[in-house]
Amino acid sequence: MLRLPKDEIEDIRKAVFLHDIGKVGINENILLKNSKLTTGEFEAMKKHPQLSTDIIRPLHFLRGTVPLILYHHERWDGKGYPYRLKGKEIPIGARIIAIVDAYRSLTSNRPYRKAYPKGAAINILKKESGTKFDPQVTGAFLKILSR
């Protein structure tokens, strides 16, 4: 499928566990809000990738995870954050984390909505392939889900 080197896979594995650690610096009222975030609240939430990397950067054994965590909310079409990277400017590990995180989010209950069924979540990922998500990564992820 994607045929990544073992060390890169290991960095992705570590980053998946740590990518949202910066949410400890986000106000709990924002994290647990059961309705749409205001513009200001969303701007505060968008700081969590930088907060996450600030926390892990001093840990040298995690240095390969820093760009994956920092860029996991970038979008294939360049409309993401924090730097509006586009396409292959985004490290592949960050592109993988983005789709895995989106699927996990879609299929989990949230304070503001019930979990989507697996089929509905898959349809959302397919629809956002090529805009929000890397089409190649989306295809590989969907193949894994179908097993």
Predicted confidence at residue 93, as pLDDT, reads 98
Phi and psi dihedrals of 110, rounded to 5? -125, 160
At residue 111, does pLDDT exceed 90? Answer: no
Write the pLDDT tens digit of every residue in 26-57.
999 999 999 999 999 999 999 999 999 999 99
pLDDT of residue 1: 83
Report the predicted TM-score, pTM, of the whole model to 2 decimal places: 0.95
Question: 89, 77 in Cβ contact below 8 A?
Answer: no
Q: Where are the alpha helices (DSSP H) in 22-107?
A: 28-31, 39-45, 48-56, 66-70, 92-106
* CATH code linked to domain 6-146: 1.10.3210.10
Q: Which amino acid is at 33?
A: K
